[in-house]
């Protein structure tokens, strides 16, 4: 029995068994097309002839083979670097890679964690599914005796917002950071064993970013040695805490501490919400879910809640008292623990958000890149293949900067993790010198990376054309899950204004002996930077790290100085800050973009093993920096850092860099090492077998359970059967 396949380059593959064919197909460098098979796959084109087998035999056999063929193999064969080594660079270390790889495959192989049906479930069914998965995940964590890091990875790869997110991510850390030793000994063992389930109740119906404006009160009653927690207004209702609506038994509640009529500001309190026997709300507590949120599935798997207190009493020792305390006599005192330690927790939370940004953006980029290589449109001549969408320069100019951004955010996230550990060590030694800079830095990078990631996910959806709008693409849900990051833990514009205040303070202190530190160290050279003019003469000059870095430093310094000069014209500084807010935000963005560029450059100064790995990272670093320069060209020109000709040369070099990324694009997203389960996208399948799977998925929709839809007889059939008569005027 003999078969032949003709490839697009007119070569002929002859084979005697389909096992042999599969091996050959996975290694061929030219696209194929099974035009006479059961699938018409536009990623590939060929003709099949047979000498003894029937066409039906071939169609059936190739249909079975479709699932096992790597339709992107010809792209992967183009890679100019060691993909396995790049996977380790992305993961951070070989140990981290092996951990993530092991846990992600553990989750992907377990049918209990399937998620392809999420977007078709109703709210109640969806939420119950979340409870089932969370309980099963906890069971597996205990059965496998996973450590804290392994358990965290498992929950993240389950990839479904759940009440456990706030329990482990906010409730436990709040007690760890703000509770006394005695409070930690009492509450943490219960939380670690999940004998209590906690949430973080800070945001209110009327106040979010303005924490100092919270209205919930905690009034000390010296007669009973208790605090009375109360919501005096509708707007003081706690609103949004995840896990609160239906599951949490306890909460860390933030309220204004009132002693003898005196307001001592906002403090944290551990409050039990529900009975541990029947799960009913305790007396004086009104609690529920706030309703459906944006998107299919997404955060609708989470019971974000509303909470109201009507003079609820708790023992005095349930105020978190590591930093400040209330004595039995009702005296408010500060402990010997510095208040600045509270900010250490904030730095930690925000550095994790930056790390999460790189993950979310890389997922979207992986989907869009793979699909861009699969999808073909236009460009066909004489019946030949159409052009791969990824080969269009417009597609590259939109996609490759996002690919570079994913890597950039990954590396700045690594640095932020180091910064958090450094700040923690300093705080424990009562060294608070780097805390203000670290606070401003993490606030700014949280804002920058989450905004860019949310926008990037949406751009990736557009890059996938109409199919990107399907829930089965994975992109609509990914966007809906991620976009709240632009608001929680600080609204992004508010955070940038905090960065701007720090920059204005830094500028005001120049020359006073207070030398700028850390990410603002470049400000010490402000006089030099104010005189800087780029000496770029040819496009290749923009590949020099020092040339790029100086341009970004000069731009950031000049924008901050300009804002400071304009602020000085106002007699009332706060009035000036309000008036110049938009300019101050732009200055903060310039400063934060400089940080990301500089940390990418610093990463490249390290020893990076693996054939071609460092070269690819250098290309991505240049793309990230030059894309920002191109996008914000007005800043660079208006501040005089570069001239129009140099801006044109940067754009020219950027186009050249896209051509260098093109043959490596699929391998660069493969380096993320995401399972198909975690990506949750038919368009982003590792094997590129998109169209048959999209077709199969469509028939799984509940609307296709019946040929004639419910409601047809009641509403549509009468219209079709109506007798039309000519009206008489």
CA 398 vs CA 227, 237, 402, 473, 621: distances in Å? 56, 43, 7, 19, 16
Integer Cα distance of 312 and 281 in angstroms? 12
Measured distance CA(697)–CA(688) in Å, rounded:
15
Residues in Cβ contact with 456 at an 8 Å cutoff, skipping those fewer than 6 apart: 361, 364, 365, 402, 405
- β-sheet bridge partners, residue 502: none
* Range 106-115 contact pairs with CB under 8 angstroms and sequence separation of 24 or more: 106/154, 106/157, 107/154, 107/157, 107/158, 107/675, 107/677, 107/678, 108/157, 108/675, 108/676, 108/677, 108/678, 110/140, 112/136, 113/137, 113/158, 113/677, 114/677, 115/159, 115/160, 115/677, 115/680
Contact between 409 and 361 under an 8 Å Cβ cutoff? The reply is yes
Residues 6 or more apart in contact with residue 481 via CB below 8 angstroms = 161, 295, 298, 299, 360
Whether the Cβ atoms of residue 316 and residue 326 lie closer than 8 Å to each other: yes
Determine the Cα–Cα distance for residues 38 and 230; give it in Å rounded to an integer: 67
Contact 413, 355 (CB under 8 A): yes
Take residue 348 and report the two structure tokens written for it.
């930690």
φ, ψ of residue 51 in degrees (nearest 5)? -95, -40
675 annotated as a binding-site residue = no
Strands 33-34 and 285-289: unpaired
DSSP string, 273-341: -B-TTT-PBPTTEEEEE----SSSSGGGGS--EEEEESSEEEEGGGB--SSEEE-TT--EEE-SS-TTH
Round to whole Å and give the CA distance between 252 and 221: 20
Start-to-end CA distance of the chain, whole Å, equals 77
Cα atoms in the 13 Å half-sphere on the side-chain side of 186: 9
Torsion angle (degrees, nearest 10) of CA 322, 324, 326, 327? 70
- Considering the candidates 204, 437, 477, 489, report the single residue annotated as catalytic: 489
CA distances to 37, 494, 624 from 486, rounded to whole Å, are: 47, 11, 21
Task: Tell me if 23 is assigned to a ligand binding site.
Answer: no
Work out whether strand 312-315 and strand 238-239 pair parallel, antiparallel, or are unpaired: unpaired
Instruction: At 123, list the tokens.
Output: 């709210």
Beta pairing class for 217-221 and 226-230: antiparallel
For the beta carbon of residue 64, count every other beta carbon within 10 angstroms.
10
Q: What are phi and psi of 9, to 5 degrees?
A: -95, 15
489 is catalytic: yes
Instruction: Give the E-state strand segments of 162-284 in sequence order.
Output: 198-201, 217-221, 226-230, 238-239, 250-259, 262-272
3-state DSSP call for residue 45? strand
Residues labelled catalytic: 489
Q: List the binding residues for FAD.
A: 203, 242
Q: List the binding residues.
A: 203, 242
């Amino acid at each position: 029995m003999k078969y032949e396949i003709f490839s697009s380059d007119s070569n002929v593959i002859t084979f005697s068994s389909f096992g042999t064919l599969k091996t050959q197909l996975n290694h061929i460098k030219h696209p194929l097309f099974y035009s006479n098979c059961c699938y018409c796959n536009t990623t590939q084109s060929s003709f099949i002839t047979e000498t003894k087998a029937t066409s039906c035999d071939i169609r059936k056999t190739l249909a079975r083979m479709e699932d096992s063929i790597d339709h992107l193999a010809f792209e992967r064969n183009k890679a100019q670097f060691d993909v396995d080594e790049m996977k380790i660079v992305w993961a951070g270390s070989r140990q981290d890679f092996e951990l993530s790889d092991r846990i992600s495959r553990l989750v992907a192989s377990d049918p209990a964690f399937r998620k392809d049906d999420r977007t078709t479930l109703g709210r109640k069914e969806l939420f119950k599914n979340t409870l089932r998965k969370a309980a099963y995940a906890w069971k597996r964590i205990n059965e496998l005796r996973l450590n804290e890091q392994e358990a965290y990875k498992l929950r993240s790869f389950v990839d479904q917002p759940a009440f456990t997110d706030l329990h482990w991510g906010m409730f436990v850390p709040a007690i760890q950071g703000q509770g006394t030793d005695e409070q930690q000994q009492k509450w943490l063992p219960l939380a670690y064993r999940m004998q209590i389930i906690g949430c973080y109740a800070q945001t209110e119906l009327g106040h979010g970013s303005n924490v100092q404006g919270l209205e919930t009160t905690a009034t000390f009653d010296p007669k009973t040695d208790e605090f009375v927690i109360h919501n005096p207004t509708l707007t003081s209702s706690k609103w949004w805490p995840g896990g609160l609506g239906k599951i949490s038994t306890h909460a860390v509640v933030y309220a204004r501490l009132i002693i003898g009529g005196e307001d001592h500001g906002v403090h944290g309190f551990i409050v039990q919400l529900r009975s541990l026997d029947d799960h009913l709300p305790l007396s004086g507590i009104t609690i529920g879910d706030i309703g459906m949120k944006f998107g299919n599935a997404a955060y609708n798997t989470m019971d974000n809640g509303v909470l109201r207190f009507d003079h609820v009493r708790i023992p005095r020792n349930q105020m978190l008292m590591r930093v400040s305390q209330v004595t039995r006599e009702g005296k408010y005192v500060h402990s010997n623990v510095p208040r600045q330690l509270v900010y250490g927790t904030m730095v930690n939370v925000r550095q994790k958000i930056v790390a999460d940004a790189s993950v979310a953006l890389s997922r979207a980029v992986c989907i869009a890149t793979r699909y861009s290589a699969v999808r073909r449109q236009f460009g066909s001549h004489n019946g030949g293949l159409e052009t791969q969408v990824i080969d269009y320069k417009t597609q590259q100019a939109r996609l490759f900067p996002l690919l570079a951004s994913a890597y950039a955010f990954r590396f700045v996230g690594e640095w932020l993790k180091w910064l958090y550990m450094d700040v923690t060590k300093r705080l424990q030694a009562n060294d608070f010198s780097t805390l203000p800079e670290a606070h401003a830095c993490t606030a700014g990078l949280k804002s920058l990376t989450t905004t860019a990631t949310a926008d990037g996910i949406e751009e990736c959806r557009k890059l996938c054309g109409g199919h990107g709008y399907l829930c089965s693409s994975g992109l609509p849900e990914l966007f809906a899950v991620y976009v709240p990051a632009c608001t929680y833990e600080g609204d992004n514009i508010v955070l940038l204004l905090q960065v701007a205040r720090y920059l204005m303070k830094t500028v005001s202190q120049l020359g006073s002996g207070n030398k700028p530190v850390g990410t603002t160290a470049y400000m010490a050279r402000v006089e030099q930077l104010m005189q800087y003019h780029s000496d770029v003469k040819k496009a290749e000059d923009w590949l020099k790290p020092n040339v790029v870095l100086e341009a970004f430093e000069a731009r950031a310094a000049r924008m901050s100085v300009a804002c400071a000069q304009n602020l000085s014209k106002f007699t009332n500084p706060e009035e000036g800050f309000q008036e110049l807010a938009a300019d101050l935000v732009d200055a903060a963005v310039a400063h934060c973009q400089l940080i990301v560029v500089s940390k990418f450059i610093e990463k490249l100064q390290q020893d990076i093993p693996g054939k071609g790995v460092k070269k690819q990272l250098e290309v991505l670093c240049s793309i990230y920096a030059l894309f920002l320069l191109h996008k914000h060209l007005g800043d660079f020109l208006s501040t005089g850092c570069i001239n129009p000709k140099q801006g044109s040369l940067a754009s020219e070099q950027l186009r050249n860099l896209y051509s260098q990324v093109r043959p490596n694009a699929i391998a660069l997203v493969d380096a993320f090492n995401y399972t198909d389960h975690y990506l949750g996208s038919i368009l982003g399948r590792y094997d590129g077998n998109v169209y048959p799977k999209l077709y199969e998925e469509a028939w799984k929709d509940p609307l296709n359970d019946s040929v004639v839809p419910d409601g047809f007889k009641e509403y549509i059939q009468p219209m079709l059967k109506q007798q039309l008569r000519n009206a008489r005027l």
